[in-house]
């Protein structure tokens, strides 16, 4: 394209020949023509574009010529005047590299037109140039369109963690509709859940907290019914989509970091937690996933903790004591083992065996603190301590063998 630019700058009269090169099978000739015509349009203005368009209006290459012109509202109004077919062809073909130079008003219109023509990847990349000037409805349409059509021929949406954070933060300020945001967070969960993400998952976790039925729906997607098959629940879905939905649901529950009734200070309202559990378990029973529901609630209790100071809170222990359900206990144990773990004092020079021993002592100490009132969780924490005792012995034996 640069050669074409230079030819136009040096006033080489090559417009008709350049029109003939548009769409040439030799890419270099097509690019030369695009560069030449783009620069001519920039130098000679809108009147030159209209004159060339009038001259070549019956030529099938007219749309490619219009795509070469610098984009702006005046050009787009003119293209619309040429009829729906030309307008559609233009928005289906136009490159978006020049969109960074659009005015805020023109950029909003450009993104909307790209969306209307199913070019959601190009629309997403374009709105990133001047996101502050894009309306909530246009951002929403773009994000929803990308869910259905994540790419287009020759273009991939730049949906990096950073860009998704920026777009969602902007949408938070413009369009805080909870139901819509829950659906969007579900679709973009894998990006929003990155640990270094400044805009965390918010509405999705609030929906889990406020609606036990939503929790049971995720449980339904994770596991099969206990008394039959799930064929009727997945009619019309392809296996990859079913598997992806199950993974997403599993990871959403694992990442949920505030229990129902829990405040930012990690205090838990026992009545709210107990009420939520009653409703969630009942909803799981209706969906024939009772055991899985108990198990995942137990995992939540085991993995959601605030280091040494609060966990396991009395509310958690009381609910565990009330149900005393084997699956809930298995889930709790699994949540403890696979979670972040409690904080222990450990010096850099200590051996691996000493670290495992310190963990065992920490869990044993936690168990002792609730031994009288909460025997269920006490027993589970002692099992965890015994496991770390075993790890400590294994590591010590391995260290001795290496010596």
pTM score, two decimals? 0.86
Domain locations along the chain? 1-95, 104-193, 201-227+245-341, 349-402
CB atoms within 10 A of CB 160: 12
Please, is 204 exposed, middle or buried when counting C-beta atoms within 10 Å of its C-beta (0-12, 13-18, 19+)? buried
What pLDDT was estimated at residue 1? 65
Q: Is the Cβ–Cβ distance between 116 and 141 less than 8 Å? A: no
Q: Is the Cβ–Cβ distance between 315 and 273 less than 8 Å? A: yes
- Is residue 312 reached through a cis peptide bond, with omega within 30 degrees of 0 on the bond before it? yes
Nearest to 218 by CA among 272, 299, 141: 299
Q: Is the Cβ–Cβ distance between 166 and 202 less than 8 Å? A: no
Q: Is the dihedral of CA 208, 214, 216, 220 positive or negative?
A: negative
Q: Is the Cβ–Cβ distance between 334 and 395 less than 8 Å? A: no
What pLDDT was estimated at residue 304? 66
Q: What is the pLDDT along the chain (403 residues), one digit of tens a residue?
A: 677 777 878 776 888 898 999 888 898 988 998 888 998 899 999 999 999 999 999 999 999 999 999 999 999 999 999 999 999 999 999 988 888 899 999 999 999 999 999 999 999 999 999 999 999 999 999 999 999 998 898 899 999 999 999 999 999 999 779 999 999 999 999 999 987 667 889 999 999 999 999 999 999 999 999 987 766 566 678 888 889 999 999 999 999 988 999 888 888 999 999 999 999 999 999 999 999 999 999 999 998 665 547 889 999 999 999 999 999 999 999 999 987 666 666 555 567 788 889 899 999 999 999 999 999 999 999 999 999 999 899 988 887 777 6
Alpha helices in 324-374 (DSSP H): 326-338, 352-369
Task: Name residues whose C-beta falls within 8 Å of residue 185's C-beta, 6 or more positions apart in sequence.
Answer: 168, 192, 201, 202, 203, 204
């Amino acid at each position: 394209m640069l050669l074409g630019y230079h030819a136009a700058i040096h006033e080489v009269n090559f417009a008709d020949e350049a029109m003939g090169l548009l769409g040439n099978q030799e890419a270099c000739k097509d690019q030369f023509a695009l560069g030449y015509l783009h620069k001519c349009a920039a130098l000679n203005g809108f009147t030159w574009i209209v004159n060339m368009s009038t001259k070549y209006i019956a030529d099938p290459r007219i749309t490619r010529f219009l795509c070469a012109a610098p984009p702006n509202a005046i050009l787009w109004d003119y293209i619309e005047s040429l009829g729906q077919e030309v307008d559609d062809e233009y928005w289906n073909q136009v490159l978006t590299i020049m969109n960074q130079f659009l005015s805020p008003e023109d950029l909003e219109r450009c993104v909307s037109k790209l969306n209307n023509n199913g070019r959601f990847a190009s629309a997403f990349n374009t709105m990133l140039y001047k996101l502050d000037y894009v309306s909530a409805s246009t951002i929403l349409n773009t994000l929803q369109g990308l869910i259905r059509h994540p790419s287009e021929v020759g273009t991939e949406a730049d949906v990096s963690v950073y860009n998704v954070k920026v777009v969602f933060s902007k949408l938070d300020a413009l369009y805080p509709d909870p139901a819509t945001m829950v659906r969007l967070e579900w679709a973009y969960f894998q990006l929003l859940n990155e640990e270094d993400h400044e805009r965390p998952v918010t509405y999705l976790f609030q929906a889990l907290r406020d609606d036990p039925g939503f929790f049971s729906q995720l449980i339904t997607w994770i596991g099969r019914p206990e008394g039959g098959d799930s064929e009727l629940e997945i009619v019309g879905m392809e296996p990859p989509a079913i598997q992806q939905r199950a993974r997403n649901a599993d990871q959403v529950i694992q990442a949920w970091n505030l229990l129902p009734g829990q405040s930012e200070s990690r205090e838990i309202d026992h009545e709210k937690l107990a009420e939520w559990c009653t409703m969630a378990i009942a909803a799981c029973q209706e969906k024939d996933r009772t055991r899985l529901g108990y198990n995942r609630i137990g995992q939540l209790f085991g993995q959601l903790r605030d280091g040494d100071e609060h966990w396991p809170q009395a509310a958690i222990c009381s609910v565990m004591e009330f149900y005393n359900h084997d699956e809930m206990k298995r889930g709790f144990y699994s949540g403890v083992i696979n979670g972040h773990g409690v904080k222990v004092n450990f010096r850099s020079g200590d051996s691996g065996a000493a670290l495992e021993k310190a963990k065992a002592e920490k869990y044993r100490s936690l168990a002792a603190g609730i031994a009288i009132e909460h025997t269920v969780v006490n027993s589970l924490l002692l099992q965890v301590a015994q496991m770390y005792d075993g790890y400590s012995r294994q590591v010590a034996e391995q260290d001795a063998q290496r010596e």
